[in-house]
Amino acid sequence: MSEWMAMGLGAGAGFVALALSVFSRPGRHTRSPMPEARPDDEVAFLLGDGVVIHCTPAAESLLPTGLRPETDWAALYRILEPRFPTLPAAMPQQAGTFAAADDPDVQLRCVPVGGMIRMVLEAPPLTPGDRHRLAVDQCLLSHLRAAADIMPSPAWRSTADGRTVWRNAAYDAVCFGLGQDPETECPFDLTRTDKGAADATRVALTIDGKARWFEVTTHALEDGEFHHFAHAIDTVIEAEIAQRNFVQTLTKTFAHLPIGLAVFDRNRQLVLFNPALVDLTSLPVGFLSGRPNLMSFFDHMRDKRIMPEPKNYQSWRVQLSDVVDAARDDRYCETWNLPSGLTYKITGRPHPDGAVAFLMEDISSEITLTRQFRSELELSQAVIETLEDPVAVFSQLGVLTFCNEAYRELWQTDPDSAFADTTIGDATQIWQQACQPSPIWGEIREFVTILTDRVQWESEVAHKTGARLLCRVEPLIAGATLVRFTEITARNATVPSDRVETV
């Protein structure tokens, strides 16, 4: 413990006995006359040239060991001033009396004596009860003093003008690490708080060449002074720096991502976004950098016509919490068809610590391509339906992709209603069961799945109904194959029945 604090605590212990004289004030209660103070109990200092020349044993007990026997006026002033605030900072040169702030019956009297000043502390004597309470308070004081000394966090008390009037050993250790005098300098630059309020301030100090961070909590007291407690938060600062670096890394990573990204924390405030989000939503960068909440974010998107207009926007705002819950459970995925003709895919993804991320992807080109492909399929299907002959088209993998109504009627099957894809094996099995035995079914299966150059060929088969069918097998682009069945009538009965290949 510092010498200054030892002096302060010693003075406090000595003055506690005097403070208890409040119980003897007139009007409080009546008690028996108290004995007069003995000379050995007198608290008196003799000062000359600004130094304590002599003091009584009772007065000497108030001085820390390090300040005896030559204690200057500045050290004595620091001991007496907390209780006698009217005592001047300069050593008095004339007679005067100074009353204690907590008890006007306790007085400090200054008397000039032959060029020196004699200072006597006067107070009513203590009763046996007062002495008992003093002993109890001294025991409690020793416990509090020990607790303050072993406290790992700096703690101190200061006046309204920033002067430190009490401190613990951890506070002194910080001052010594900075090379400062704890008696005169406060290493913590604090923001004063209003009376009765508490405030937390982060302070960075360089102790022994290493940056140390403290969070100082300041409590304003009723007497106008302040109590401060500093807690080391180095690990908290390191975690925040690591998190900030991680966010910056993510930001750089997502900067080139074509998909818009918006991450909202557990308080539903925007904490991360990438340039693609700005391009897709046309929202101002300043607005996004201001960390808007989720509701404000969607409101601005609605104003920019970047989201479909709901039938009832007010009810949709109420249902937005359901959207967040769905995104948190990885269940939110919608497609927005915008008035501009663009199509956006919005996906919600959960993030740690209750955060949620929304991914915005422009799928307009994919939707256009899909629509064009579907239109081409419908056109191809319509063309095939105009043919009178049964027709089936198989892909390079042997999967049936097209067939017309004539094909369904001839073979009494509907591939579109089947749960699984119809393959060339399934189709030839149906054909074989409905026709007389023929070797061409295996040849057709081989032709459909072969990867080498192919040429068109045809062959006649007999249906069990008695009809004669001409089966034409033709290669198409991308490895596809067309199989066409034509009924042989009297007009085309000259067609040979054996297999014929044409180039």
| pLDDT, position 70 | 63
| pLDDT, position 80 | 87
Class of domain 241-362: alpha beta
d(C-alpha 330, C-alpha 313), whole Å: 24
- Beta-ladder partners of 435: 463
Q: What is the pLDDT of residues 266-315, one digit of tens each?
A: 888 998 888 899 989 989 999 998 999 988 898 888 888 888 777 666 67
Question: Which amino acid appears at position 27 of this protein?
Answer: G
| pLDDT, position 499 | 54
Could you tell me which of 202, 201, 240 has the C-alpha nearest to residue 219?
A: 201
384-502 and 241-362 share a CATH fold: yes
The token duo for 259 is 């998909």
E strand or H helix at 226: strand 226-232
Q: Are 266 and 353 in contact (CB under 8 A)?
A: yes
Residue extents of the structural domains in the chain: 3-129, 152-232, 241-362, 384-502
| pLDDT, position 483 | 95
| pLDDT, position 85 | 86
Cα dihedral sign, 151-157-162-163: negative
Could you tell me which of 96, 119, 131 has the C-alpha nearest to residue 24?
A: 131
Domain 152-232 is found in CATH 3.40.50.12780: no
Q: Are 278 and 259 in contact (CB under 8 A)?
A: no
Report pTM. Answer: 0.46
Architecture field, domain 384-502: 2-Layer Sandwich (3.30)
Q: What is the pLDDT of residues 447-498, one digit of tens each?
A: 999 888 889 999 999 999 999 999 999 999 989 999 999 998 855 555 454 5
| pLDDT, position 448 | 93
Show the low-confidence residues of the chain (pLDDT under 50): 1-38, 66, 193, 195-196, 495, 497, 503
The token duo for 37 is 């103070």
- Phi-psi domain of 479 (left: phi exceeds 0; alpha: psi -120 through 50; beta: other): left
Strand 226-232 to 333-337 pairing: unpaired
| pLDDT, position 492 | 57
Strand 400-403 to 343-350 pairing: unpaired
| pLDDT, position 68 | 57
Which single residue is written with the structure tokens 């690490």?
177
Could you tell me which of 68, 89, 83, 87 has the C-alpha nearest to residue 11?
A: 83
